[in-house]
Structure 1
Amino acid sequence: MVLLVKSERAPGGASGRVLHLTLDRPEARNAMSLAMVGELRAALGDAEEAGDVRAIVLRGSGGHFCAGGDLKDMAAARMSHDGAAAVAGVSARFGELCVAFARTGIAVIAAVEGTVMGGGFGLACVADVVLASETAQFRLPETSLGVVPAQIAPFLVERLGYAEARRLAVTGGKLDARQALALRLVHEVHAPEELGNAVDRVLADVLRCAPHAVAASKALIARARLQPASALIGEAATVFAQAALGPEGTEGTTAFLQKRAPSWAPR
């Protein structure tokens, strides 16, 4: 196992569970092996199927988040009998992982520290909330190695914008935590000893929000990136009506009028 999976009841009496996923290859600064990709995909799939996971927290062990793809897997693919197809397959599997985390209706929080490189950079880009330690060092080294940040390129553009994605790609980008904050790659920066408290605080905020409303909001916001507002008026109205008339909307409105926490929230 190269992924530590910890599931716990949501704190504060909130409904559901929180899933903690820790990349656990400290000897390799948690480089993303094919085994790790498979375990992450399986853990996310299990969480979505279970239906009661309210949030996923991604972190790395040993003081680092992720040093990118495992070069041993790529070397093995390169040496295989079908060469280019095998290398493309390794790349595609990581891309599919990023897409799965980007599309999930579950809130995803990444707590990053130390090395955040290549594929680890991509994972940070697909999280909903990124909290960084002051030790975090972001790198996009692919072009300096003669390769391309292929699978994470769309997520770089989505998170940072076209101009910044180009700049980082052509310079083999290096960012410290404060520079990442200025670009909004990360949302908060904390001293290493405060990172856990920051995760707990953001989790409490997430758990105050209704889970199905969170999923519907994430899906609508994703579509809003690609369509003008005028094209979404009808769809947005339908989504709102379904939520307002559904069990969460009814409970949320009733709780507000009764001046109490809704059933899904911490007490």
Structure 2
Amino acid sequence: MLNDFKTLHVEQRDEDRVLSIQLNVPEAGNALSARVVDELHTVLLAAEDDPQIRVLILSGAGDNFCLGGDRGEFSSLIAADPSGASLKSLVNKANRMCHALRSTEKVTIARLHGGVIGAGLGLAVLCHLRVGASDSHYRMPELGVGVPPAWGGLLPRLQHEVGAARFRHLLLTAKKFDAALAAELSILQEVVPASDLDEAVTGLVKPLLRRDAESLRTTVQMLRSYESATHFADVSLLDPEVLTAAVLRRELRRQSFAVS
């Protein structure tokens, strides 16, 4: 199973207790296409069923961790299916994948470098622990490209982690920010030189593997329960409708400009 993926590189190590999941479409900036989403969801579900695995490490191949959702694929789906049903199906898949990452009983670590953009930033923030290269950069560009941040239920998670006032500023201005500000905003818990990223991740993994497995799992469950208690509704259920409607409007505007 671990060798069957086209867009991921997946490897078990440390006596199979650590699962490393690398987004492996560097030529596309590891953008979250439908295939990437499907494969991520598959490996996350498989990991959840493996009692040996304690830690999941999420990283990206090439120059960037992840440059966000595949907006070209959004346009292609609308062109092939103007009803928006295909795009809505993709966003539903993204919701399920993000739920699997958010609700896992494993400890999740994001290893971040290069660009960590849009849905890629949201994906990283779903992880419990986040280490970033000092030259990495971050952005929520959705408003700049004419769509709302409605993908995978990531908006409330980012706002919860960053804080409402600071997050509003980043979202509404779509400004790019560096690793130092990401650490100040609690998006990153550690910032290291790019050459030290693997060592920093190893430094997080080693003590986790020394912990009692049942105590570790129970603690992760408790953390998830406490977080859930602060949310009164799952607003991610609206994401497929909101994003599909926005992309449809954007494509209609483009077509009208082309005709005129």
TM-score (norm 1): 0.79
Alpha carbons of structure 1 residues 200 and 222: separation in structure 2 relative to 1, 3 Å: same
Q: Structure 1 CA distance, aligned partners of 2:116 and 2:83?
A: 28
Measured after TM superposition, the shift of residue 212 of structure 1 is 2.5
Measured after TM superposition, the shift of residue 18 of structure 1 is 0.8
Q: Is residue 180 of structure 2 the alignment partner of residue 175 of structure 1?
A: no
Alpha carbons of structure 1 residues 227 and 62: separation in structure 2 relative to 1, 3 Å: closer
Tell me which residue corresponds to 1:204: 206
Tell me which residue corresponds to 1:137: 137
Structure 1 stretch 108-117 or stretch 217-226: which is displaced more? 217-226
Q: Structure 2 CA distance, aligned partners of 1:107 and 1:37?
A: 20
Secondary structure of 1:159's partner?
helix
Measured after TM superposition, the shift of residue 158 of structure 1 is 2.1
2:163 to 148, 161, 164: 161
Q: Structure 2 CA distance, aligned partners of 1:69 and 1:217?
A: 32
Measured after TM superposition, the shift of residue 189 of structure 1 is 0.4
Tell me which residue corresponds to 2:14: 9
Residues paired across the two proteins, number: 223
Measured after TM superposition, the shift of residue 89 of structure 1 is 2.1
Measured after TM superposition, the shift of residue 161 of structure 1 is 2.0
Identical positions, percent = 30
Measured after TM superposition, the shift of residue 226 of structure 1 is 4.7
Letter matched to residue 75 of structure 2: A
Letter matched to residue 185 of structure 1: I
Q: Is residue 145 of structure 2 the alignment partner of residue 149 of structure 1?
A: no
Structure 1 stretch 219-228 or stretch 138-147: which is displaced more? 219-228
Letter matched to residue 156 of structure 2: P
Q: Structure 1 CA distance, aligned partners of 2:53 and 2:155?
A: 29
Q: Structure 2 CA distance, aligned partners of 1:84 and 1:173?
A: 29
Asked if 2 retains the 8 angstrom alpha-carbon contact of 1:153 and 1:165, the reply is: no
Secondary structure of 2:221's partner?
helix
Q: Structure 2 CA distance, aligned partners of 1:175 and 1:9?
A: 35
Letter matched to residue 213 of structure 2: P
Tell me which residue corresponds to 2:58: 58
TM-score (norm 2): 0.81
Gaps of 5+ in 1: 11-15, 229-267
Measured after TM superposition, the shift of residue 49 of structure 1 is 1.1
Q: Structure 2 CA distance, aligned partners of 1:68 and 1:35?
A: 14
Larger Rg: 1
Measured after TM superposition, the shift of residue 95 of structure 1 is 2.3
Letter matched to residue 208 of structure 2: V
